[in-house]
Amino acid sequence: MAYKKTEFQHILVGVDDSEDALLAFQYAIATAKQRHAALTIVSVLEDREISVYEALDKDYIHGERSGLVEHIKTYVKQAQDAGVEEVNALVSEGKPGEVIVKDVIPHVKPDVLIIGSIAKKGLKRRVGSQAAYMAKYAPISVMVIR
């Protein structure tokens, strides 16, 4: 039986500052550089319960998202500095697994999703806790790094 060789020309990587996500990011950079592939970096501001005061403060949610948008720029620079030729980034909001599978993948059209296996705990949690969901439901190959 002959196996079809999979060519990953567009890599999507989920980042959230957890140790596993940082390993996934490093792997994605190396793979993108080696294959001359495009790299799209995604981070999802996870839905969480907020207080009434936070909900009433429009600047609170905007501030969290703005902070994440600025932070993801450091990932873009790191990938560019490592020699990845085409780097894009996006930030979304919601449940990371669902957002990436239902919104990001259809929009970005990557060949593979690379994610860490464990999320950072607390307010900084973004992607990792949703790894099983993404591996099960993503319409593309998924690499889970630990």
Q: What percent of the chain has pLDDT over 90?
A: 60
Exposed (0-12), middle (13-18) or buried (19+): which is 73, by Cβ within 10 Å? exposed
CATH number of 10-145: 3.40.50.620
CA dist list (Å): 4 to 7, 87, 126? 9, 27, 34
Ranges of each domain in the chain: 10-145
pLDDT of residue 5: 59
State how far the Cα of 39 lies from the Cα of 87, in Å rounded to an integer: 5
Other Cβ atoms closer than 10 A to 16: 27
Rounded average pLDDT over 80-97: 94
pLDDT band at 119 (very low <50, low <70, confident <90, very high): low
CA angle 137, 143, 146 (to 5 degrees): 120
18-50 confidence digits (pLDDT tens): 898 999 999 999 999 999 999 999 999 876 554
**β-strand partners of 104:** none
Among the residue ranges 2-6, 42-46, 50-54, 132-136, the one predicted with the least confidence is 50-54
Residue 41: what pLDDT? 98
Q: Place 7 in a pLDDT band, splitting at 50, 70 and 90.
A: confident
